[in-house]
């Protein structure tokens, strides 16, 4: 189980997360929703180990053991995979080199060990996600469209099969066919035992993935938990009206 326990996080001395508690078990999807500035991306970056995000209190545990002191690459090696909102382009690195290094890291080999079978699997996964198989030979994220970014990030999950996947807005920048393709891969990973923490702004994602729980965040805290009906209601009436209906008072958020 992946556990977030009373997590408080600061950026440049400003508190962003204020006591987050949540769990993700193997084989389940936990959907995270909330208005801009609620802290969703901060939560994902902190679990992934981005050093910009400073944990001032609380813990992040994998199977009962704290991972707070581990660097991002060791968290990955222990089974945490991440899909970011906006990956950074790296012209000097081919996508295929990254994919081989990721699989080698997970399987305990040297990063540079040749793994030609990984490229064959990557090409197959790319086609399934609606990408040209040749994408794996392109410079990493250089000239990628928004949709290609998301599909390529999910492609990494398909190859590395993490124990826990942090998927930040997988539907951003995708048309309905793209969301369906990404949703199919996520659903297959979860069916194989991966636990997924997925953030979104839109109800359409639940047409392709089936969340076990929906968590609503605002102002750096979890303020409500429910089922898929929560997402549908928020999309229907908006966050302000939903909070009023729930009797929840929420300040105007300033940060994400």
Residues 6+ apart with CB under 8 A from 173: 145, 146, 147, 149, 150
Confidence class for position 256, pLDDT limits 50, 70, 90: very low
Confidence class for position 255, pLDDT limits 50, 70, 90: very low
Nearest to 255 by CA among 10, 5, 84: 10
pLDDT the model gives residue 252: 53
- Residue 44 placed within a domain: yes
pLDDT the model gives residue 205: 86
pLDDT the model gives residue 110: 87
pLDDT of residue 254 exceeding 50, the answer is no
pLDDT the model gives residue 251: 66
Determine the Cα–Cα distance for residues 151 and 145; give it in Å rounded to an integer.
Answer: 10
- Residue 187 placed within a domain: yes
- Residue 251 placed within a domain: no
Condensed to tens digits (0 to 9), the pLDDT of residues 22-49 reads 999 999 999 999 998 899 999 999 999 9
Q: Are 242 and 217 in contact (CB under 8 A)?
A: no
pLDDT of residue 182 exceeding 50, the answer is yes
Q: Give the largest CA-CA distance in the chain.
A: 57
Residues 6+ apart with CB under 8 A from 160: 76, 81, 102, 103, 106
Q: Where are the beta strands (DSSP E) in 26-76?
A: 29-33, 54-62, 65-66
Overall pTM > 0.85? yes
Three-state DSSP class for residue 154:
helix
- Residue 161 placed within a domain: yes
- CATH number of the domain bearing residue 122: 3.40.50.300
Condensed to tens digits (0 to 9), the pLDDT of residues 58-81 reads 999 999 999 999 999 999 999 999
Determine the Cα–Cα distance for residues 224 and 217; give it in Å rounded to an integer.
Answer: 7
Number of structural domains, the chain?
1
- Residue 167 placed within a domain: yes
Domain limits at 203?
A: 2-246
- Residue 253 placed within a domain: no
DSSP state of 130: T
Q: Where are the beta strands (DSSP E) in the chain?
A: 2-11, 14-24, 29-33, 54-62, 65-66, 80-83, 90-94, 139-140, 164-168, 195-199, 213-218, 221-226
């Amino acid at each position: 189980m992946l556990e977030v326990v009373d997590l408080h996080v600061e950026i440049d001395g400003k508190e962003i997360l204020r006591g987050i508690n949540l769990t993700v078990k193997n084989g389940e999807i936990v959907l995270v929703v909330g208005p801009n500035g609620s802290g969703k991306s901060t939560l994902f970056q902190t679990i992934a180990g981005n050093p910009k995000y400073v944990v001032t209190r609380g813990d992040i545990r994998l199977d009962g053991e704290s991972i707070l002191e581990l660097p991002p690459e060791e968290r990955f090696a222990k089974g945490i995979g991440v899909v970011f909102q906006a990956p950074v382009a790296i012209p000097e690195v081919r996508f295929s080199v990254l994919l081989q290094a990721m699989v080698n890291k997970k399987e305990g080999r040297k990063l540079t060990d040749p793994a030609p079978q990984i490229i064959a699997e990557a090409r197959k996964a790319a086609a399934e996600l609606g990408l040209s198989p040749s994408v794996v030979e392109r410079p990493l994220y250089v000239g990628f469209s928004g949709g290609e970014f998301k599909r390529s990030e999910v492609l990494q999950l398909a190859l590395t099969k993490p124990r826990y996947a942090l998927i930040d807005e997988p539907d951003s920048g995708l048309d309905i066919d793209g969301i369906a393709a990404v949703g199919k891969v996520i659903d297959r990973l979860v069916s194989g035992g991966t636990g997924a923490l997925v953030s979104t702004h839109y109800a359409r994602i639940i047409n392709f993935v089936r969340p076990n729980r929906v968590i609503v965040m605002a102002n750096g805290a979890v303020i409500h938990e429910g089922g898929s009906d929560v997402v549908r209601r928020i999309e229907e009436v908006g966050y302000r009206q939903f909070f009023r209906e729930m009797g929840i008072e929420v300040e105007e958020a300033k940060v994400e």
